[in-house]
Amino acid sequence: MAKNDKPVRKFRVGYVTAAVWKNGEFFNVTVTRSYKDGDEWKDTDSLGSGDLMNAVRALQRAEDFIADQQPA
């Protein structure tokens, strides 16, 4: 994924985001957590125990989206 590529869809639950990327005929998903450092918002791929269920929910939505994109 090039830096200027954008995900085809994002699913956010709390501070956790699952981003769906199209790679040719395949899909990939990245998970990030947003946090505030002073006045600036940043992202990390490190999740705390309180983020895990939000990650599960965001990933489930990403999986449902990807399944809907597949030909029947």
**Taking the complete model, does pTM exceed 0.85, yes or no?**
yes
Type of residue found at 43: D
Domain residue limits at 62: 9-69
Query: Is residue 58 assigned to a domain?
Result: yes
Query: Is residue 52 assigned to a domain?
Result: yes
Query: Is residue 51 assigned to a domain?
Result: yes
Query: Is residue 31 assigned to a domain?
Result: yes
pLDDT band at 5 (very low <50, low <70, confident <90, very high): confident
Query: Is residue 48 assigned to a domain?
Result: yes
Query: Is residue 64 assigned to a domain?
Result: yes
How many domains in the chain? 1
Query: Is residue 55 assigned to a domain?
Result: yes
pLDDT tens, residue by residue, 13-53: 999 999 999 998 899 999 999 999 999 999 999 999 999 99
For residue 26, give both structure tokens. Answer: 């395949």
> For residue 6, which phi and psi values (nearest 5 degrees)?
-120, 145
Continuous H helices in 1-72 = 52-69
